[in-house]
Amino acid sequence: MREIPRLIFNNEIVARRADLRKVNQSTPVLKNKGALNIIFFDGMPLVNKTNSQTRLTYLFHDHWLLTHVDLTVFLGLYKGKSIFAHNILKDRKDSSHEDTLGYFNKRIQNDLMLNMSYFLNLRNALTDISDEESALAGTGKALIHWNLNNKYCGKCGLALSIKNYGWERHCNSCNQHHFPRIDPVIIILIISGNKTLIGRSPHFPEKLYSCLAGFVEPGETIEMAAKREVQEEVGLKIYDIEYVANQPWPFPSSLMFGLKGNTNHTLLDIDKNELEDAVWLTREELKNLLKGNYNNMLPARPGTIARLLLESWVRNEI
């Protein structure tokens, strides 16, 4: 059987149920005792580690942590139960961000019911969180981020009210409706004969190499964006661009379009502001990189669309 490389954040397990979002937030129709609650601090979900798997920590409706929440969004129905994502106040009165995190961590450690839970950067859980829970955490993180960064109307500057349980904001002054923003990004496997190009941005973790990527600009198709990005970053002209797969990427709110494209050239003109390095690897060399056989290079992490592109190409599947 063909083994499809894993893509996290891609699971359809949550029934989004837009109809239920319209329930007035002050009525407890959805917030019954059986509802599931997950919580974030500064974009990090509260998790626990069970048998080397990272699991989300679910809170009872009357848990003390939920009294420190400044935003709640409704994700939908998960296994028939309402699921809410909450944001914990980042800065308590007269406390710094770090002090606040320390305060909550200490109280969490003293709470036996929380089963050694802690707030974790989702990027550090890519390989050991389940597909289902990655979707819950990813959607919650992205939606909370949008709400926290869109408190005021971009048209008239006045405060926005929350509608539809966090899925919309509305300006009561100028009547403008605001919806969660998603940023399209292309990521492309560039092929020249038996070689593919990988590069590293200055922002990547140490030694990490991946496919080239960039934001789609207004007025562009994803193919146009891919051509422009590759030309800008490494000076190559590409053609025969094909769509392969896509992935929601909640850092903070992207939708990654995984593509592949060909080029007749291999000579690189690297824009050092965008890329620290870029190299061509043969299929055999890439196979070795994916196996972890290089000391000075690491491949894109499992669960990412870049990893899917690289693995699929090594296996001759794309």
Contacts to Zn ion by CB under 5 A: 153, 155-156, 171, 173-174, 176
- Which of the 8 DSSP states describes residue 59? B
Work out how close the CB of 159 gets to Zn ion at its nearest, in angstroms, rounded to a whole number: 9
CA 273 and chain centroid, separation: 24
Work out how close the CB of 223 gets to Zn ion at its nearest, in angstroms, rounded to a whole number: 36
Number of H helices, E strands in the chain: 6, 18
The answer to whether residues 303 and 1 touch, using CB atoms and an 8 Å cutoff, is no
Question: Which residue reads 């979707």 in tokens?
Answer: 135
Work out how close the CB of 87 gets to Zn ion at its nearest, in angstroms, rounded to a whole number: 23
Instruction: Output 153 or 211, the one with its CB closest to Zn ion.
Output: 153
Instruction: Output 162 or 270, the one with its CB closest to Zn ion.
Output: 162
Please, how many CA atoms are within 13 Å of residue 7, restricted to the half-sphere of its CB? 21
Work out how close the CB of 72 gets to Zn ion at its nearest, in angstroms, rounded to a whole number: 23
Which of 234, 137, 149 lies closest to 183, judged by CA? 149
Instruction: Output 151 or 315, the one with its CB closest to Zn ion.
Output: 151
Work out how close the CB of 22 gets to Zn ion at its nearest, in angstroms, rounded to a whole number: 22
Instruction: Output 179 or 239, the one with its CB closest to Zn ion.
Output: 179
User: What are the distances in angstroms from CA 311 to CA 29, 108, 112, 292?
Assistant: 46, 40, 42, 13
Work out how close the CB of 49 gets to Zn ion at its nearest, in angstroms, rounded to a whole number: 45
Instruction: Output 95 or 176, the one with its CB closest to Zn ion.
Output: 176
Exposure letters 44-68 (e unless 16+ CB within 10 A, then b):
bbbbbeeeeebbbbbbeeebebbeb
Instruction: Output 11 or 176, the one with its CB closest to Zn ion.
Output: 176
